[in-house]
Each structure stands twice: as structure tokens, then as C-alpha cells.
Amino acid sequence: MEKKGIAVKQIKAAARHYNKGDYVCSITLSGAAEEMHGQIAKKRTNTNQLEGEVIYLRSVYAYFSGQKPSDKELIQKINNVKNELKHNDSGDNLWVDGDFENESAILFVKAVKNYFDCYQDFPNDRAVKNLFEHLTL
């Protein structure tokens, strides 16, 4: 199966989980699709949604605090909840704190936008289209 097809399945499943209120599963699925299509978008267009978010967040830091965090620091902050849900580097049973509904919405939108950046079209799925419109309009 090609990467496009895998990521589309992940986006569709993420929409179903989001609509059921299962934000943890939606985050992990959207995050995987966002990363996969992000790499394809980067190769095809020389940018992706994560890079745009880093640029925006850097400007917010500069405006409000004068700080200039590195790209790596910003990416860690952006991906913190997603990575905490996917990995357990310490091996301990720790609490993960975050606004899972909001993180799920953000990652879903980024995944769909990366898809669009790759193929100049949206995934052909009514649940995906409806959720994307709901979250962005």
C-alpha cells in the first residue's frame, strides 16, 4: 500500500474517533498522517504545515517575550502531547496532561492541509470533509 493510501486511512479513522470523542486515538492517527504527508509536502512544495507553525510560533515568542527559541525547541513544544501519547521514553507509568480535544482538532486540520498541499485536493470522504469544515469555518 502506498503512503498516500495509508495516510488517508489514518485521516478517515481520526475523523471517526474525533466524532466519537475519542481524542487520544484521533491524535495518534492524525499525527501519523500529518507526519507522513508533511514529508511528502516538504519534498513537493519545499514546505509543510509544521514549518508554517514554527514560523508563526517564533513570531509570537519574539513579540511577547523577545525570546528566540530554536526550531527544535518549538517543534518539541508543538508536538509535546502527540509525542507523549506515542512514546514512553522513561518507561514509567506517568500522567499525560493536555487539552486532548484541542490537540486532536489541530492535528487533524494539519493532516488534511498537508494532504491538500501534496495533491491539491481533499480526501474523498464525507466524514473528513464535514469535520474539516466544522473545525476550520
Q: What is the pTM of this model?
A: 0.92
| Residue 115: other Cβ atoms inside 10 A | 27
- CA angle (89, 73, 42) in 5-degree steps: 95
Q: What's the number of CA atoms in the CB half-sphere (13 Å) around residue 115?
A: 29
Q: Rounded to whole angstroms, how far apart are CA atoms 31 and 100?
A: 12
| Residue 77: other Cβ atoms inside 10 A | 13
Q: Rounded to whole angstroms, how far apart are CA atoms 57 and 47?
A: 16
For the chain, the domains span: 3-136
**What's residue 40's pLDDT?**
96
Predicted confidence (pLDDT) per residue in 51-81, tens digit:
999 999 999 999 999 989 999 999 999 999 9
Predicted confidence (pLDDT) per residue in 2-26, tens digit:
999 999 999 999 999 999 999 999 9
Provide the 8-state DSSP code for 1: -
Give 86's pLDDT tier (boundaries 50, 70, 90): confident
Percent of the chain with pLDDT over 90: 88
C-alpha pair distances (Å), 49 with each of 39, 67, 77, 100: 10, 22, 15, 20
Largest CA distance in the chain: 47
